[in-house]
Amino acid sequence: MKGRFMQVIGMANNREKIVKLTDLPNYKDLFTGSLEKFGVTSIDNLLQVLKDDQRTALMISAVNGLGPKTIQAWKISLLENDRSSEETAKETKVACSSAESNEAPKEDIAGPVFENIVESVSHEDEKSMNKVMIERNLFCTMEELKEVQRTTTDLLQMNGAKKKGQLASIEYVSRRLTEAGLEVTVDGESGFPTVVATIGEGGLVLWGHLDTERMKGMKRKEQGEFLGDMIHGRGAADMKGAVACMLCAANGLATWNIPFSIVLTTDGLGEPTGAESLAKNPVIHNSIGILVLGPTGIRPIIGQIGYAAVKVRTVGEGSVMKMAAFLKMLTNQIAESSGQLSVKTGLIKGGKKKRPFESPRSCEVILELETLEATVSAIEKMESLLSGMEYEIEVLCQSEMIEFDRSSDLAKILADFTKKEPAFELIHSEAAKIVPVNQKIMICGPGNIVDAVTAQEYVTLSDLERTYEAILNLMDRLSPLEIEVPRLTDQ
């Protein structure tokens, strides 16, 4: 009978058990340090925390990457672990009895450790929850990260500064999104095509653009060049990397049975007719939130500055010197504004190629103004600098400073995920055109705005990985499961 006793013990011990924290489902190595600081170094410590709703919430906030769904998976696994321990204890007692041992029967060594953590959960609910947890993986695997890298490189090889490159990009993203299971519509009535890909109605909208600035100063071979952790190329940060994250995330999100949309424009900020057209689209009106994946270094932005594109022309004798004097005074004014005003200088031109030393009768420059005050005031200050000169000013496009809805679920969840409070910064996007119809907007994405639109532009793989996981977590928390989640009992 001793052999049968050992056989029973062996059968029980062959079951997978959770002995240490790393045995938990969806456990990541990066959790360890934060959990230790929180006082959780063992399964027993974790069980004590899970008995308290408030301590559990604090733990989620303290551990980067840890969310409610992972906590749910841990609870279910620990419940199964507890039941397995009970069955092992019972089998051990049966085996001892069958061996006709002279020892007195021992008490059940595996009590209901989970009795104060999970209320009644049916077997079918557990199966359903475990199934959904598998479908809703909230982390970026190595294979998925490689696919994001490949997709970013593909997009960078298409010159979004030219119409041909934009059309190639539209064809590429349309095919990828259709293959993922989304319904794709391309609207080219505005002259700048827009791509709208949807599943269901409502849900979160991911917003991006496919166009890039001119590629002067960057060699063709550098588009998509991978060095260290960085993918180089014009448009890498603004915003081919972010678009790649959307396309790759769509593959998994389409199986979640939740509504969401992806919207892409091709006209940027200079002439945002695509955004104006999309503002009339029901997809934007009915959305529970709009995430513009602009280059913010994964920092959530809750508002954006005023913006204006202005053409300034000086005329008459000495027009070039007049323009030089104006630009010098404008530079001084920018320095004195203490960050309230930012100006980007575009193309400067004047005169005609008749004689090399002929003085041009006009000189003009395109300026992009970003300001924390009213754009009208900024333009008036420019006009005061031109006082006494012959000049003309033409406003090409203009939008005022705006603030998004700080109380939206999107803003709260994004702040919780990034562990960064939403900020208000000198950044501009097409959100200015859609905020009148939906204020539940946030700007947050990979890359740095300082490096965007430069010959050294790049985006890091770590930023892309974080962005990919941000998309998954936002979708998951904005569209919760339609099954009962185990609740902690009151203490």
- Assign 38 a pLDDT band (cuts: 50, 70, 90): confident
Q: 224 falls in which pLDDT band (50, 70, 90)? A: confident
**pLDDT value at residue 458:** 92
Of the pLDDT bands very low, low, confident and very high (cuts 50, 70, 90), residue 104 is very low
- Answer with the residue of higher pLDDT: 489 or 47: 47
Residues in the chain, how many? 491
- Confidence tier at 12 by pLDDT (50, 70, 90): very low
CA dist 133 and 70 (Å) reads: 8
Phi, psi (degrees; rounded to nearest 5) at 300: -70, 130
The two structure tokens encoding residue 472:
């998954």
- Percent of the chain whose pLDDT exceeds 90: 39
Helix, strand counts (H, E) of the chain:
16, 16
In terms of pLDDT, which residue wins out, 262 or 485?
262
Contact 294, 429 (CB under 8 A): yes
> Three-state SS for 399?
strand
**Torsion angle of C-alpha atoms 298, 299, 302, 305, degrees rounded to 10:** -100
Give φ, ψ of 199 to 5 degrees: -135, 120
Closest CA to 322 of 236, 262, 389: 389
Question: How far is Cα 397 from Cα 430, in angstroms, rounded to an integer?
Answer: 12
Q: Which domains does the chain have, with CATH numbers?
A: 2-118 (no CATH), 142-302+403-478 (3.40.630.10), 306-399 (3.30.70.360)
Mean pLDDT of 483-489: 43
In this prediction, residues 430-437 reach a mean pLDDT of 87
Most confident of 75-79, 104-108, 136-140, 397-401: 136-140
Residue 154 is predicted with a pLDDT of: 94
- Look at 12-21, 119-128, 473-482 and tell me which has the smallest mean pLDDT: 119-128
pLDDT above 70: residue 43:
yes
Residue 271 · residue 192 · CB < 8 Å: yes
Coil, helix or strand for 359? coil
The tokens describing 339, both together, are 């960050």
Mean pLDDT (whole number) for 408-433: 86
Mean pLDDT for the stretch of residues 63-90: 72
pLDDT of residue 354: 64
- The CA-based dihedral angle spanning residues 84, 89, 91, 92, taken in that order and rounded to the nearest 10 degrees: 140
Whole-number pLDDT of residue 77:
80
Q: Give the per-residue pLDDT at 219.
A: 56
Percent of all residues in the chain with a pLDDT value above 70, rounded to a whole number: 77
| Residue 361, Ramachandran bin (φ over 0: left; ψ between -120 and 50: alpha; else beta) | alpha
Question: What is the side-by-side order of every strand in the sheet holding 230-232?
Answer: 226-227, 230-232, 458-460
- What count of other Cβ atoms lies within 10 Å of the Cβ of residue 396? 13
- 288-339: pLDDT as tens digits: 999 999 999 999 999 888 888 899 999 998 899 999 999 999 999 999 988 7
How far, CA to CA in Å, does 428 sit from each of 42, 235, 354, 442? 47, 16, 40, 12
351-408 per-position pLDDT tens digit = 766 666 677 889 999 998 888 888 889 999 999 999 999 999 999 888 788 889 989 9
Mean pLDDT of all residues belonging to the chain: 80
Q: Give the pLDDT confidence score for residue 450 in this predicted structure.
A: 75
DSSP state of 355: -
Q: Which of 244, 176, 253 is nearest to 210 (CA)?
A: 244
Q: For the segment 239-298, what is each residue's pLDDT rounded down to a tens digit?
A: 999 999 999 999 999 989 899 999 999 876 555 578 888 889 999 999 999 999 999 999
With b for 16 or more beta-carbon neighbours within 10 A and e for fewer, the 48-85 pattern comes to: ebbbbeebbeebeeebebbbebbbbbbbbbbbbbbebb
Q: Which residue has the higher pLDDT, 229 or 17?
A: 229
What whole-number distance in Å separates Cα of residue 203 and Cα of residue 136? 16
Mean pLDDT over 419-445 rounds to 86
Stated pTM of the model: 0.65
- Find how far residue 486's CA is from the centre of its chain: 29
